[in-house]
Structure 1
């Protein structure tokens, strides 16, 4: 219990470190943030306080007043606003990195524009609406020698990596089934939330569902071969929600005989219409000689536990809040703080503790599209933005 309160305190009050000077080696990275999204404080602002190579430099919003208010509240040095605010921030030569937490349907356009402007990109998940868009992003990043990371933050935490290590050790034998559930209680996304807007890439499969797909092929150490079955339920009966899923279930097959079962619900109903349900945040892997389960794989920095149950042997519980040995990290580091460490290391030319390769992002979008195809909801609309080099030869 004391450890829990210790972590909670430092997660809420991370100890600030002084940013390195511009003349230091390596030079600190100046981040520009697209929009004033609710995720930004936890995903970017708080982690930056404890990283000496990160500077909160600028934020851009369609409304200049909102951008200025956000900058003042969260410690950004500059604010851009108006119809050209996003592009003006990208054009700022002081900006090194663009953080893109915009609605899913805008990820492709503004990530391509950021790369065109010579900026590295920390890109919120899911990276795009389609696999084709994801492939275009990474092709441009490779050509320009820039870093793009799809922000599946949980992958950088020791907890999920410990689960993977146990599976890879073959202590429990070969994997036979993986079941992953991720839900949010009713009211998490209000009626006017962007996650219910088809044209902006909305839907449960795109939000919590994207985590389940990513975790599936990560734990399986391979990609699925087919979607055996999938079904989904629309958010409401309104015409605009015809293709916007509130929840989905899917069963995927792998060539090595693994079966993956996924479930996500972005609007899980209340008990008796009053009591919010506890979110499902569980991944269970059944193996030939036992099973392993992690509770709270998504935000394990607050609390989690890993149950390892060998067939015919004693069951044990493990926890992993930090890495052992030489790897960086503290028990109170959030998944986003571990992610930032890896991202900065990559941009600065160091080897990160772990990384999500471009093909993982492309495959993730491929299987999200395949699930949508199977359940009849269809892929989210491809961006209308068309990239042009405009004599940019970098």
Structure 2
């Protein structure tokens, strides 16, 4: 771990490792666990072999531990300071601005710029150079037909990186340039379903042609664009944490996004909308949610599209999308199915509809495959991943290095024999 240097001329009170451990109420080795996790910074004095610690920083950590009920081994969740997204009760905010209002009034590109820079760029538009798109398309076209959307997006991100000799420039200006190229490249690399003369216009319009062969109407495009904005970030979701770990190791932006895509593919994260989509279609096919819910519960499966651990009440993203879906042509049957699902499941557990159920209504109503919600989620969240990567590049490198709590056989153990290995 690289020791931290104090600002020139700064006057600060330093504590030894022993004094720091006593103040925190932990063992000396635990002090260095705090350092490895980025919760404390250390410094060695000239000619000294021992580390010293800023007293004010140590006292702040001690107060936080007393408030939160423990130190690094207390089982608490990893906490990362961020200025990007705040989730508070049943609302969430992008840089202090209500995210639902921002997404409802501004395009996805404008929401992304706000997340990245804290400045609104009216009319913001993303365009990808031909070389980047061609490299990504060649890589995606080489995949087998059964490849999923996240497979394609991850390969497209890697191919785009290989085509960018400046990808290791982690300055803010360079990373922003990468972001404005990478997102449209990811969309352009997906195989089109609806043929369009020009691959231009708002990102939502370009993405639509990759999701369905049905011609878009203004209401449907507005739902898609709003969904992209609503899903652009959601604090430290699992995929976003992976992005920050990669950025902490100074992986370039393409690699950080690829890390996020790898985590997103799980059914408990980006794949949840597909499960909701299929549930809605089954309810429509069988005419009522009752027997479908009964089958799900009989099989011991969780009902997709309901509840969210961060929102004890209504998911604000779902609230906005359901309001727009009410105005979208052709959405009424899927909407009725979704409401039947929520009402029927409420007899078993009082859970509100979440954004996955709203996405399922949208994709089912627009003749999209069940995997379409995963594509929407991944493209949308790329903006947030870039915002978190930018923020992490401004932190100390490799600060996100937790220590494992070893629970295996105590050493020294004898070398294994072939019989022990069988």
TM-score category, normalised to shorter length: under 0.3
The structure carrying a bigger helix percent of its residues is 2
TM-score normalized by structure 2? 0.24
Superposition TM-score, scaled by structure 1 size: 0.26
